[in-house]
Structure 1
Amino acid sequence: MLHLLIPFVIILYLSLTIAISFFHAKNPKIDFRGKNICLLIAHPDDESMFFGPLLCHLSKIDCQIFILCMTTGNYYNQGSRRVQEMHSACKHMFSRYNLKIVDQGDRIPDHASKKWDEELTKNIISAYLEQNSIQTVVTFDQFGISGHANHCYLNKIVKKYFSFVEVWQLVTVNRARKYIPLIDILFSLKENHLIIGSLRDYFRIFGMMLEHKSQLVWFRWLKFFVLKTPLFDDYEGSEFEYSAKEPRSDDILKKPATKAASLPSKAHLSNEQMKNESQIRSLHYRSVNAYARHVKLVNDYLIYYSGGKTLKEVFERDVSKDKTDLDVIREEMRFIWDQEDEPSTWEQRLAKKYYDKLFKEYCICDLTLFDQKKIAMRWRVEKEVLTGKGQFVCGDKRCSVRDGLKTWEVNFGYVEHGEKKNALVKLRLCPECSVKLNFHHKKKEYVKPAKVEKRKKKHTKLEDSESESDKEETKEEKKIKKEEVVDSREKISADGNMIVLESDDSMWKSTGVSEKHNEDKAREEEFEEYLEDLFF
């Protein structure tokens, strides 16, 4: 008798299921049209096992479906295979789908006894919601349907961090409804947010489940044929989303009865309000592009923190304290650096390096304010030395006269870093600039040292003495000398041969050498005079 009763119950159950699904296909009172909906699941095959009727319903209406799976289902080291199977199942249900499968290894593992990294899980879900502008999230309830710890943890994360979006959760039923499908059907028909699929939906869901070949074990087949049928999904709104529930008019007019002791403090309310506003603001900033975010932040800054300043005044950089290398040199420059003065800062080292490149034989002056006893001086640079400025050209900054230059020794007094100093310098000026230099009192003209003059006088005396001795020699003496010279060149030996003592070439060569020696000596004297004029 029992072996006949069991097939009869199974046939009756399937007949009732097919009849109800065929004649009473029911859509929920939840309006999903025109929304971006995210299905948040823990493992591949959850979408087929638990959310099949929902996916069939969403595929028929105008909405965007996004599926976020938090693990690869790698409990039995089949993660890569299960990922491919989930893609195949989504292709079987949708022509176009948006699927993201998270693979974080041990930080978000497929394991009922291992905890997930809460901060990482929150960040991944938050980024996915913001990236796709999700308005509604569908996930498990706090019991997780099958009681799996990963399913329950998803509900906990969503409730804790994502109160600013609309959340719907799949309801977990009691054991009687779960294991006696006929009772479940009777109770489910009264639910407002029940989704009942058609017979065609049944085969679509069955086809999705067949794609998960690695998961087709006996208890999953039991799910389809004996336990709660995949044609029934019952949803309820989350406890923090009030817009999903439609209150009656009596409830609106009726003031809720609350106890004074249960009222939260004002500080708690303000903190919750600030937290909620910050989450909404953060979601808004991340949902717009970078340019719109920049414009928003700039406008807010100008409104609240600018103090009445214009945009240019607020964002214009302060260049008053900017310095170039030339500015640093002007501040740290010294007219004369002593050998004992060692630079201690990089500014002083820069100024000392520039000072070492200057030429300090003669100065360049500026006589613009000569009538006010103000004369500016500086050392020459390499370009001025090459052009002769300050030595062969007038040393005034604006004068280019080359003739009639005079050398002046000037006791230059100046103020450097608040300290008065003096330095004896040399100037080469034209007559007109010399008048300007000596406008108030005459400066000392530089005279060549007496040693050079004595050398010149000695040289002139020698020349005079040589000329007088030449005049005293008579013509006869010159002839005698010539004969002696000829005799000295040649000497006849005893056997009649002539011996050449000195050739004409050697004679001319010796005279040439002496003349060259005299020329070198004259050049050396001129070079010594030039150096004495340069350094003394």
Structure 2
Amino acid sequence: MFVFVTIIFVFVAYTISIKFVYYRYSQVWPHLRNKISTPLNTVGNASFCPTRERSSALLRNSEEDEPRVTAGETRALLVTAHPDDECMFFAPTVLKLVESQATVYLLCLSTGNYSNQGLQRKRELLDSCAVLGIPSDHVTIIDDKELPDDPAVQWSTALISSLTLKHIRNYSISVVLTFDGSGVSRHANHIAIYVALRHLASAGRLPEGCQILSLHSISLLRKYVSVLELPVSWLLPSDFCCIIGWEEYKHAKKAMLCHRSQLLILLHLYI
């Protein structure tokens, strides 16, 4: 009987802690968003710091085509390796940014053609982005032989850096979001993006005021216990954290379901 009561008590206490964390997060979210907005006067070099997530090239040829940017506006660029990365790993961040009226762009560095499904996966990516709130004209999908969907191929750091920097400049990006050095799943293509963007930051090639935030990879246990992991994430240090509620979770799941070619048993468990 004592064991049963203890289990019930722990469950209730943990549920309350989850509620508290979500409430507290809703209060501090405006301050978190301000950290990645375009400042009135950008000073200093771009930074490369970690964040926690529980989340055809377009070229401009004239100044007239450059986007109008206002102080305090968030212009985010998400750099991913494959179609489905945007929702599987970054959906909470994208949804929170879109909800906050941020302008979000996506640069996907391959068509995901590992199993000769590139055309289908491009369509799936656009459908997923529509659900997440990223307009199709804000989505760039790269199809380059130097960036194949293949973990056995080492992607070109110079090419990734060039493509990303071009997007940052063309769209006046204030924050870039991508993978960390572990690539979530140790995928070589994910890690290659981190290496390239870290190179950009360390070489001082980014425009002043532009930040790069990297997704924080976590253990398999923390990844698959879902909402039970929330208090742990809240207590650990993070520069930027996104937590979504039930309605946003349903949007994230709907976006993932757009990638029908990738819905394996493991992915069903993940979502």
Q: Counterpart of 2:229? A: 184
Runs of 4 or more above 6 Å deviation: none
Summarize the Cα distance change of 1:85–1:138 in structure 2 as closer, same or farther, 3 Å threshold.
same
TM normalised by structure 2 equals: 0.70
Alpha-carbon shift at residue 41 of structure 1 (Å)? 0.6
SS at match of 2:114: coil
Question: Kindly, what percent of the aligned residue pairs are identical?
Answer: 27
**RMSD, aligned α-carbons:** 2.8
Q: Which runs of 5+ in 1 are unaligned?
A: 1-11, 225-536
TM normalised by structure 1 equals: 0.37
Say whether 1:104 aligns with 2:144: yes
**Aligned equivalents of 1:63, 1:178: Cα separation in 2:** 27
Match for residue 69 of structure 1 among 105, 108, 114:
108
Alpha-carbon shift at residue 153 of structure 1 (Å)? 0.7
Residue 167 of structure 1 aligns with an amino acid whose one-letter code is I
**Aligned equivalents of 1:221, 1:141: Cα separation in 2:** 24
Match for residue 260 of structure 2 among 213, 234, 245:
213
**Aligned equivalents of 1:125, 1:29: Cα separation in 2:** 24
**Aligned equivalents of 2:116, 2:170: Cα separation in 1:** 31
Partner deviation per Cα, 1:319-360 (whole Å, 9 max, x = no partner) = xxxxxxxxxxxxxxxxxxxxxxxxxxxxxxxxxxxxxxxxxx
Verify the 8 A CA contact 1:42 1:151 in the aligned structure 2: yes
Say whether 1:156 aligns with 2:156: no
Alpha-carbon shift at residue 174 of structure 1 (Å)? 2.9
**Aligned equivalents of 2:253, 2:150: Cα separation in 1:** 26
**Aligned equivalents of 2:190, 2:112: Cα separation in 1:** 13
SS at match of 1:65: strand
Summarize the Cα distance change of 1:22–1:134 in structure 2 as closer, same or farther, 3 Å threshold.
closer
Say whether 1:223 aligns with 2:270: yes
Alpha-carbon shift at residue 220 of structure 1 (Å)? 0.5
Verify the 8 A CA contact 1:24 1:196 in the aligned structure 2: no
Residue 178 of structure 1 aligns with an amino acid whose one-letter code is K
Say whether 1:168 aligns with 2:207: no
Summarize the Cα distance change of 1:127–1:22 in structure 2 as closer, same or farther, 3 Å threshold.
closer
**Structure number with larger C-alpha Rg:** 1
Alpha-carbon shift at residue 117 of structure 1 (Å)? 2.6
**Aligned equivalents of 1:133, 1:181: Cα separation in 2:** 35
Say whether 1:203 aligns with 2:243: no
Say whether 1:141 aligns with 2:180: yes
**Aligned equivalents of 1:108, 1:147: Cα separation in 2:** 17
Say whether 1:116 aligns with 2:161: no
Q: How many residues align?
A: 213
Greater RCO structure (CA 8 Å; 6+ sep): 2
Summarize the Cα distance change of 1:24–1:159 in structure 2 as closer, same or farther, 3 Å threshold.
same
**Aligned equivalents of 1:58, 1:152: Cα separation in 2:** 24
Summarize the Cα distance change of 1:212–1:68 in structure 2 as closer, same or farther, 3 Å threshold.
same
**Aligned equivalents of 1:71, 1:60: Cα separation in 2:** 27
Partner deviation per Cα, 1:176-198 (whole Å, 9 max, x = no partner) = 42344466322112245321101
Residue 67 of structure 1 aligns with an amino acid whose one-letter code is L
Residue 174 of structure 1 aligns with an amino acid whose one-letter code is S
**Aligned equivalents of 1:118, 1:37: Cα separation in 2:** 21
Q: Counterpart of 1:29? A: 32
